[in-house]
């Protein structure tokens, strides 16, 4: 087994799994705090927007991360910094529930998320270096499956803890976990530095040089016509899917009779069901190499239409049943895409290349996600109908674009070589 044979990989991934547990507990505390406001829909919207800021600056963070020589040391420092931010957030949560408190938390959450995204980009080369190329997709699948498992388990445990000790203790515990993870990276620092020394980081002479580098990467990426079609479809799809969770939570708060005991448990159950299908996609996905891009994306959009219409008529649990299938397809396709990216791009510039790719798949969808989330907070029926129409139009575009003819690996290689 890959984890048994590669001890450094096990240690490296385990630290990420610990962080995942903390994030799951923190998420419950954050959404529960927002749900306690007089206007929970507004609270959920504010928190959701705060999570989008790190994505908006991802490409800059990726280029900066690539230029850092002492990556492991900065990963440790970033973890400690985030730990202190979570301590402050825990203190705010321990005070009274208020819109002012939520706004402060949202600002701190955006700062912490930005630091977390930077840390993730610092880590970008290591998985590629630690794992042999022919085992990379399997390693990504294992990591995804375990992270999703821990996310759900921690969610259920968090609900139980929440009922016993209160929401701010979950935030304090998350801060503690980030300090523990930083100590863990300090423990494997010597081993990671051996791989770190094999990298030749790019150098930038000031901000202007950095911006030119980023713009060049994005332009090169967009000029590859076959890949451009995929990126535009991916951007629209992610914008639509990005609004799903917030709309489900808003629907729940507007229909308390559909709670399973309470809001917290209902949220955890929904995440648990989604996890099962996401895990199936992570495990089965690497073996489904013959399934084409058109089928994957079209199937995802068809079930997403079902989700949107169910939300429109205030049936959140029916909506979850639809989106589960979409999660299955989206998860294994994401693993396939990540594996191709890591195999095709030199590790020294993985942060920049990944971020440039993310410009299209994560940054461009933000305005659409914010618009749909805002619409959901105002009118779920209007949100559902408009989203379903967008999905239908996107399916038509996919069918005419013939995405199955797109060779992703060669497109990435062309991106790097040009």
Query: Which of 53, 185, 172 shows the shortest CA–CA distance to 119?
Result: 185
Question: What is the per-residue burial (b if ≥16 Cβ within 10 Å, else e) of 31-43?
Answer: bbbbbebeebbeb
Domain count, the chain: 1
Token pair of 20, please? Answer: 């995942």
> Distance (Å, rounded) from C-alpha 198 to C-alpha 347?
10
Per-residue pLDDT of the chain (418 residues; tens, 9 = 90+): 677 777 888 888 889 888 888 887 887 788 888 888 888 878 888 888 888 788 778 878 888 888 888 898 999 999 999 999 999 998 998 887 888 888 999 999 999 989 988 998 888 888 878 887 777 777 877 887 788 777 777 776 776 777 666 677 777 888 898 899 999 999 999 888 888 888 777 777 778 888 887 777 777 666 666 667 777 887 888 888 877 878 888 888 888 887 877 787 788 788 778 878 887 887 777 677 777 778 888 888 999 999 999 999 989 889 988 988 888 887 777 777 777 767 666 776 667 777 777 777 777 787 888 888 888 888 999 999 999 999 999 999 888 877 666 556 666 555 555 5
| Long-range contacts, 400-403 (Cβ 8 Å, 24+) | 401/229, 401/233, 402/294, 403/229, 403/230, 403/233, 403/292, 403/293, 403/294, 403/297
Q: Is the dihedral of CA 220, 224, 229, 234 positive or negative?
A: negative
Expressed as residue numbers, the domain containing 87 is: 2-417
> Distance (Å, rounded) from C-alpha 310 to C-alpha 316?
7
The CATH number that applies at residue 257 is 1.20.1250.20
Q: Is the dihedral of CA 20, 104, 80, 54 positive or negative?
A: positive
Length of the chain as a residue count = 418
Question: What is the per-residue burial (b if ≥16 Cβ within 10 Å, else e) of 97-129?
Answer: beeebbeebbebbbbbbbbbbbbbbbbbbbbbb
Tell if the pTM clears 0.75, that is, is over it.
no
């Amino acid at each position: 087994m890959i984890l048994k044979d590669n001890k450094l990989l096990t240690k490296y991934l385990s630290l990420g799994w610990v962080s995942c547990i903390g994030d799951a507990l923190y998420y419950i505390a954050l959404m529960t705090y927002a749900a306690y406001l007089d206007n929970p829909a507004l609270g959920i919207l504010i928190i959701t927007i705060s999570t989008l800021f790190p994505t908006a600056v991802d490409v800059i963070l990726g280029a900066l991360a690539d230029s850092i020589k002492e990556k492991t040391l900065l990963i440790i420092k970033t973890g400690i910094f985030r730990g202190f931010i979570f301590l402050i957030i825990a203190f705010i949560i321990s005070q009274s529930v208020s819109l002012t408190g939520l706004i402060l938390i949202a600002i701190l959450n955006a700062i912490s998320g930005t630091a977390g995204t930077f840390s993730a980009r610092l880590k970008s080369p290591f998985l590629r270096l630690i794992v042999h190329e022919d085992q990379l997709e399997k390693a990504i699948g294992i990591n995804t499956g375990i992270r999703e498992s821990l996310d759900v388990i921690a969610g259920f445990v968090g609900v139980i803890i929440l009922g016993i000790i209160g929401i701010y203790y979950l935030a304090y515990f998350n801060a503690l976990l980030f300090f523990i993870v930083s100590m863990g990276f300090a423990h494997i620092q010597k081993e990671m530095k051996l791989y770190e020394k094999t990298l030749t980081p790019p150098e930038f002479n000031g901000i202007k040089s950095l911006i030119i580098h980023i713009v060049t990467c994005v332009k090169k990426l967009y000029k590859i016509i076959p890949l451009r079609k995929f990126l535009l479809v991916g951007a629209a799809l992610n914008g639509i899917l990005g609004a799903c969770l917030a709309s489900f939570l808003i629907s729940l708060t507007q229909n308390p009779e559909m709670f399973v005991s309470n809001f917290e448990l209902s949220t955890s159950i929904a995440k648990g069901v989604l996890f099962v299908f996401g895990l199936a996609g992570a495990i089965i996905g690497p073996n489904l190499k013959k399934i084409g891009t058109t089928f994957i994306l079209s199937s995802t959009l068809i079930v997403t239409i079902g989700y949107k219409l169910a939300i429109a008529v205030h049936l959140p649990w029916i909506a979850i049943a639809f989106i589960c299938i979409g999660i299955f397809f989206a998860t294994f396709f994401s693993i396939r895409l990540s594996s191709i990216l890591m195999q095709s791009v030199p590790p020294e510039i993985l942060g920049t290349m990944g971020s440039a790719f993310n410009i299209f798949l994560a940054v461009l969808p933000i305005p659409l996600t914010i618009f749909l989330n805002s619409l959901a907070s105002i009118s779920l029926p209007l949100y559902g109908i408009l989203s379903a129409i967008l999905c239908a139009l996107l399916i038509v575009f996919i069918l005419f674009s013939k995405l199955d003819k797109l060779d992703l690996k060669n497109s990435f290689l062309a991106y790097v070589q040009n």
